[in-house]
Amino acid sequence: MSRRSGRLTLQAKDSNADEPAVREPLKKRKSEPKKKLQPAAKKQNYEIQTCWSEDGASPCILIETPHKELEPSDPSSFKQYQFKNLFIKASPIPCLSWASSDDVWIKMLNKELKYVHDKSYMQRHPKLQPKMRAILLDWLLEVSEVYNLHRQTAYLAQDYFDRFMLTQENVNKDYLQLIGITALFIASKIEEIYPPKLYEFAYVTDKACDVWDIQCTELHILKALDWNLCPETPISWLKLYVQVEAQKDGENFLEPQFSQETYIQITQLLDLCMMDINSLDYSYSILAAAAFCHFSTFDVVHKVSGLTWESVVPCYQWMSPFMDTLRSEPKPQLKNFPKVKTDDRHNIQTHVAYLDLLKKAQERQINSPCCQQSPVAMGKILTPPSSTEKSTNP
């Protein structure tokens, strides 16, 4: 019986036949060592390392963190970078019963490094102009007020839009409204307890975008952002600052203790500034601190943020024409919204004639030598439709 081609066959044995010579065993070929596949190049990750001591503040260190797939043989081989120390003191957040205030503070600072925004994305889109972005954001603020969405929702949508555009090229102006309303749809599902229905977002576009368009664009945006959807927006930084300033011993830190009237004045300044694309030159924490500084003193801002005057003053000066413009306007008033509690009214996004105010502020910037000028685009631009009421039919 012999094995041929993987099958067993029977053979008759001849007794007169010579015994087959015993073959020497075949020498095994020396197997070449397999080349280890090199991992694909990845973007370096960084995080802020706590370096605070009991005696006082010391500079934070920005360290390169190893990839999970690579086990470093020598941890000391990873680079260390001295980080520009914007936050020079320990966490201003008071002691919390449900978390470590230092951990909460460090995570907020790390998000400033993780979520990158840059106004240079306009160079990737030759057919777009900065004023188109302002018109889109103005319309999104209006939609947010119509549907009683929170300020955090509107600012998340702005962040998604800007970061998404940073990943794209040659986007046509006809797609801006679709991208904007989809960003607001995603943000509402993240932040709102009862977000509006998908058909309601399609309705406010006046049939320019249908449900299918928004669903397809939603998937596109989520993939482009790599599902990183939880930045610390200027609103979240501002709320932290004003709450720390108003915090009293023995009171629940999660319950607002600041003046709602002052808060909505600061948020109106932030709304106006965020419509200018040059606001993307500054981190969200700096924007919130500069806006708060216009309604307070720098000593208070330093106490609640740990920021130095050198880090805040460029944004503070850039923001001054916007503040001067708002001073010439009536002060915003708290609005009543159906199904919104009185103590939550300040959190609902409101809308005023921001485009007119932006034009006045940019004209002041041109006449102010110490402020950075914002480009004012001219010519025909995309104007999203306005909406003053919700849909009554599904």
Q: Per-residue pLDDT for 2 more than 70?
A: no
Residues 272-308: pLDDT tens digits? 999 999 999 999 999 999 999 999 999 999 999 989 9
- State the DSSP code for 107: H
Backbone phi and psi for residue 76, each to the nearest 5 degrees, phi listed first: -70, -10
Cα(60)–Cα(86) distance, integer angstroms = 9
Cα(142)–Cα(261) distance, integer angstroms = 20
Please give the mean pLDDT across all residues of the chain: 79
Instruction: For residue 40, count other CB atoms closer than 10 A to its CB.
Output: 5
Share of the chain above pLDDT 70, in %: 70
List domains and CATH numbers for the chain. Answer: 58-367 (1.10.472.10)
- CA–CA distance from 167 to each of 117, 123, 226, 283 (Å)? 11, 12, 11, 19
Cα(218)–Cα(333) distance, integer angstroms = 35
**Cα angle 49-52-53, degrees, rounded to a multiple of 5:** 140
Cα(346)–Cα(77) distance, integer angstroms = 50
Residues 151-202: pLDDT tens digits? 999 999 999 999 999 999 999 999 999 999 999 999 999 999 999 999 999 9
The answer to whether the Cα torsion of 336, 356, 140, 365 is positive or negative is: negative
pLDDT band with cut points at 50, 70 and 90 for residue 203 = very high
Residue 332 token pair: 């915003």
Render the burial of 177-208: b for 16+ CB within 10 Å, e for the rest: bbbbbbbbbbbbeebeeebbebebbbbbbeee
